[in-house]
Structure 1
Amino acid sequence: MSSNGIIHVRIDERLIHGQVATMWTNTIKATRIMIVDDGVVKSEIEKTALKTAVPSGVKLSILTSQGAIKNILADKYIGQKVFLIVKNPRVLKELVDGGVTLPQINVGNMSTKKDSKQIKKSVSVTEEDLENFDYFVKKGIKLTAQMVPSEEEVPFQNLLKK
């Protein structure tokens, strides 16, 4: 358990959806889901959709990168079990650069984009993504690839070397 309340970090472009809402939240026993995405903060439609997708009894925070850094460093989540979800690794790099300690990063779903290459069934990465993952490796943050909790955890670095 990390001292700042964050117990699980996941990169998943779909944010909260069936798998995350039920399986992950139950498996890790999260008490709060934290979405960090500057775009979602500005979108009432996305925020409403996320609020309806949160499992009952679980709190939801939707924050900008700067808002998340401020709240986490102010120890607002100590004693909670925070499940942090972002759409891409760049956001997590901003958090780490801002002084946030991440326990590890689980890469769930990154869809195919222009100039991306597929490295796992549900994961495609761009050059920028690779640079961000390399940054995490250098910082000593463990990276794993795991779609659902029942699936075996794969060291993400192994996928990057292919």
Structure 2
Amino acid sequence: MEDLGIKNIRIDERLIHGQVATMWTNSLKASRIMVVGDDVVHDSIQKMALKTAVPAGVKLSILKAQSAAEKILSGKYKGQRVFMLVKSPKWLRILVDNGLPIEKVNVGNMSSREGSKQVKKSVAVTQTDIDDFNYLNDHGIELIAQMVPSEDPVKFMKLLEDR
């Protein structure tokens, strides 16, 4: 994915917030943050909040999943340092279904909600999330859990198996 401009893909339901805006963006030397999710595209309040949260000097793209796959595969972001953010694994599943060759995903933050179970301090998953993670894993995608760049990554599928 690096040759297509994508430096890191992170699942973080908070999208752009303190850790992302400072630590992750800086450690990746990101030139663009790409938020992928059809729900975000259709939420004008959330889009406005993202535009104000993006760090100075960093470009922002907010795209539907299918459109993101098409633009990335067309080479639109070659030569850039893109940090992709999604709220949940379902958007990554759509990217994979649209031919995006994802190699690695960082699972950052998914809060507790009805029907979810805690697998890490900052990660709670529903059965639908587990199905999506299994799908991604079955497609050869390395799934890691890492809250901040200084933390050692942990194999995410092992966390799922242990619960």
Q: 2:103 touches 2:140 (CA, 8 Å); kept in 1?
A: no
Q: Map of 1:3-14 to 2, 5 A cutoff?
A: 3-14=3-14
Cα distance, 1:8 vs structure 2:
0.2
Deviation track 1:70-109 (CA, whole Å, cap 9, x = no partner) reads 2112110011111000000000000011001123100000
Q: Map of 1:5-154 to 2, 5 A cutoff?
A: 5-154=5-154
Q: 1:2 touches 1:103 (CA, 8 Å); kept in 2?
A: no
- Runs of at least 5 residues in structure 1 that lack an aligned partner in the other structure: none
Deviation track 1:8-37 (CA, whole Å, cap 9, x = no partner) reads 000000000011000000001111100011
Amino acid corresponding to residue 112 of structure 1 in structure 2: S
SS in 1 for 2:8: strand
Distance between the aligned counterparts of 2:144 and 2:55, measured in 1?
24
Cα distance, 1:115 vs structure 2:
1.1
Distance between the aligned counterparts of 2:52 and 2:79, measured in 1?
25
Distance between the aligned counterparts of 1:129 and 1:40, measured in 2?
18
Paired-residue identity, %: 59
RMSD: 1.0
Report how many residues are paired: 162
Amino acid corresponding to residue 20 of structure 2 in structure 1: V
- Runs of at least 5 residues in structure 2 that lack an aligned partner in the other structure: none
TM-score, L = length of structure 1: 0.97
Q: 2:115 touches 2:126 (CA, 8 Å); kept in 1?
A: yes
Cα distance, 1:137 vs structure 2:
1.3
SS in 1 for 2:79: coil
Q: 1:6 touches 1:102 (CA, 8 Å); kept in 2?
A: no
Cα distance, 1:2 vs structure 2:
1.8
